[in-house]
């Protein structure tokens, strides 16, 4: 007998979307070694809705075409946060966790760094994130506080055997018609809903720790 739970996803604000995109822009523009053709991402409301749909399933399963029917050529990454409802800028610091210890030279990780690899995948151009409170549906204990935060990406990364980006001087290999902005290649100046700029500073550092991370998975859909 299988039991599935669904939850209503949290509503994202304009600030949430700005925080998500700014966190990605800051991390991708400051990779070490530098990236020659890192794409500057834009926020996608379609991917946000997809991420909300995944988060509302309140499942520890990897994303697949059964959970998300009709969607292809995307990647969904997610984390499970405990203790309190995270702000999106806090959750993004877990997705982009330096403790993953990714080594560019050897293209290896000391742990599971699928979240981080997707975060800095050079050809990924769109992201959207969502969150749901899941509690009992995840742990089986109604008293437990659990928030599932998911991000959907297009096109997907984490392709086996490939590095997440090509090393070189920042923007030295941007496609024709693209210009360099914050060490990333772009041809689009309207990147966020209701604004034409990306804030230059990240939000304050996360108060969450690795102890809040119960699961972290990234899985590209077929």
Provide the mean pLDDT of the chain.
78
Range of the domain at 192: 14-220
What are 23-55's pLDDT values in tens digits?
999 999 999 999 999 999 999 999 999 999 999
125 lies in some domain: yes
Contact 139, 214 (CB under 8 A): no
Q: pLDDT confidence of 199, banded at 50, 70, 90?
A: very low
- pLDDT at position 61, please? 67
169 found inside a domain = yes
Report yes or no on 216 lying in a domain: yes
- pLDDT digit string, tens, across residues 151-160: 999 999 999 9
Q: In this structure, is residue 197 part of a structural domain?
A: yes
**Residue 4, in any domain of the structure:** no
In this structure, is residue 79 part of a structural domain? yes
pLDDT of residue 188: 77
**pLDDT (mean) for 13-31:** 95
User: Using one digit for the tens of pLDDT, what is the confidence trace for 212-221?
Assistant: 333 334 444 4
Mean pLDDT confidence for 162-185: 95
SS3 label, residue 5: coil
For residue 21, give Cα distances in angstroms to 17, 88, 211: 6, 10, 25
When computed from its CA atoms, the radius of gyration of the chain, rounded to whole angstroms, is: 17
Asked if the structure places residue 43 within a domain, the reply is yes
CB 7 within 8 A of CB 147: no
CATH, residue 209: 3.40.33.10
CA 214 from chain centre, in angstroms, equals 16
- Predicted TM-score of the model (pTM): 0.79
Alpha-carbon torsion (108, 110, 111, 116), positive or negative: negative
* Number of domains forming the structure of the chain: 1
For residue 5, tell me if it sits in a domain: no
Question: What is the structure's pLDDT at 97?
Answer: 78
Q: What is the DSSP letter of 212?
A: G
| pLDDT > 70? residue 130 | yes
What's the helix, strand, coil split of the chain in %, to 5?
Answer: 25, 20, 55
Q: What mean pLDDT do residues 15-30 have?
A: 95
Q: What is the dihedral of CA 151, 121, 61, 51, to 10 degrees?
A: 20
DSSP state at residue 167: B
d(CA 115, CA 189): 27
């Amino acid at each position: 007998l299988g039991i599935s739970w669904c939850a209503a996803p949290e509503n994202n604000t304009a600030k949430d979307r700005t925080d998500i995109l700014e966190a990605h822009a800051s991390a991708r523009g400051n990779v070490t070694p530098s990236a020659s053709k890192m794409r500057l991402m834009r926020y996608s409301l379609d991917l946000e809705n997809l991420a909300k749909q995944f988060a509302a399933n309140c499942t520890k399963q990897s994303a697949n075409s059964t959970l998300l029917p009709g969607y292809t050529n995307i990647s969904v990454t997610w984390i499970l946060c405990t203790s309190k409802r995270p702000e999106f800028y806090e959750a993004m610091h877990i997705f982009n966790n330096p403790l993953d210890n990714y080594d560019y030279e050897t293209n290896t990780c000391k742990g599971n760094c699928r979240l981080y690899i997707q975060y800095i995948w050079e050809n990924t151009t769109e992201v959207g994130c969502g969150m749901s409170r899941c509690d009992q549906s995840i742990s089986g204990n109604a008293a437990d506080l659990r928030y599932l935060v998911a991000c959907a990406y297009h096109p997907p990364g984490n392709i086996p055997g490939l590095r997440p980006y090509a090393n070189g001087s920042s923007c030295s290999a941007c496609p024709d018609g693209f210009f360099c902005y914050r060490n990333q290649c772009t041809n689009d100046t309207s990147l966020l809903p209701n604004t034409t700029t990306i804030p230059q500073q990240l939000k304050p550092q996360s108060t969450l720790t690795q102890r809040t991370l119960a699961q972290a998975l990234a899985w590209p859909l077929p």
